[in-house]
Amino acid sequence: MFGKGKTCHFAAVPERYLAECNLVVLGVMGSGKSALTVKFLTKRFISEYDPNLEDIYSSEEMIDHQPVMVKVMDTADQDGPVNCERYLSWASGFMVVYSIDNMQSFKGCQRYLEALALHRKAIHLDVPVLLLGNKVDMERYRQVSKSEGASLAARFGGQFYEVSACLDFLSVQRVFHDAVREVRREADRSPLFPPLCRGEDRPLVGISSAHTFTTPCYKELPAPATAKLITVKSSRAQSKRRAPTLTLLKGFKIF
Ligand SMILES: Nc1nc2c(ncn2[C@@H]2O[C@H](COP(=O)(O)OP(=O)(O)OP(=O)(O)O)[C@@H](O)[C@H]2O)c(=O)[nH]1
């Protein structure tokens, strides 16, 4: 299990004021989805994960002086974008990951982008999509050029980043925070985005419309069928405390 720690609460901000942003991380096996997710949540790079586990992690973040509960679904698709329903209807935004040292993973992520384009068209909402070229530390084995990544992202109307789960934390954090910013922008821009973010029965109090955003609820939101919700301490809070021992997927421990 990952993240037994209790949630960190920002002292001055009652929980009911937190907006939520559901991010889904997609990509073929081995592209680094779990590594990026764990890096964002814990500032650490862990090299092995159970590829079959699909979990949702949540972390309270302060982004542009606004608190937000970021929920990250680390998906575990075996065969590309099939049975996507569990995350399509849940997501506020998507992050599609490939590995710059693996052309197959780049081709694989195009299938995700196509599926997401269809989804966006179907619901008439520009749910933000970010394309991430991971493993830039593997530059000398690069198979996908930066311009190929950028032009693919542009083709599908998404932001493009190159990152590495095993290099600096801030670059990874920036990508996740930018995803939240994109979701906020879209929520502000589109009257079709539902007006308030609604967590599990969280009272909808005190959130001005300028800062509200949520899952595109074009239909009833089922809880993702196969995912567990795991709450971890925010990375910011964690850095201020003595690092706890976290037991990771597959029983790996980090300190
Ligand atoms: N060098 C390097 N290796 C990475 C990076 N990110 C992930 N890896 C390695 O790539 C392998 C796959 O990473 P995962 O995070 O498990 O990839 P995933 O996309 O979650 O894979 P599945 O769980 O199989 O879907 C692991 O051995 C990681 O250690 C990175 O930025 N740089």
With a 6 A CB cut-off, is 53 part of the ligand 1 pocket?
no
Three-state SS for 101? coil
**With contact defined as beta carbons under 8 Å apart, do 187 and 198 qualify?**
no
ipTM more than 0.95? yes
pLDDT tens for 194-237 read: 543 444 433 332 222 333 333 333 333 334 444 455 555 443 33
Task: Please state the φ and ψ torsions of residue 32, each to the nearest 5 degrees.
Answer: 110, 20
Identify the residue whose C-alpha is closest to ligand 1 atom 7: 32
pLDDT tens for 27-56 read: 999 999 999 999 999 888 876 666 666 678
What mean pLDDT comes out for the span 139-166? 97
Three-state SS for 238? helix
- CA–CA separation, 16 vs 168, rounded Å? 32
Please choose, from the candidates 133, 165, 163, 134, the residue with its C-alpha nearest in 3D space to the C-alpha of residue 39: 165
Task: Please state the φ and ψ torsions of residue 134, each to the nearest 5 degrees.
Answer: -90, 170
With a 6 A CB cut-off, is 30 part of the ligand 1 pocket?
yes
Identify the residue whose C-alpha is closest to ligand 1 atom 27: 47
The Å distance, Cα 191 to ligand 1 centre, comes to 38
Which ligand 1 atom minimizes the distance to the CA of 97? 19
Which ligand 1 atom minimizes the distance to the CA of 52? 23
pTM over 0.90: no
Average pLDDT, the chain: 75
The Å distance, Cα 164 to ligand 1 centre, comes to 10
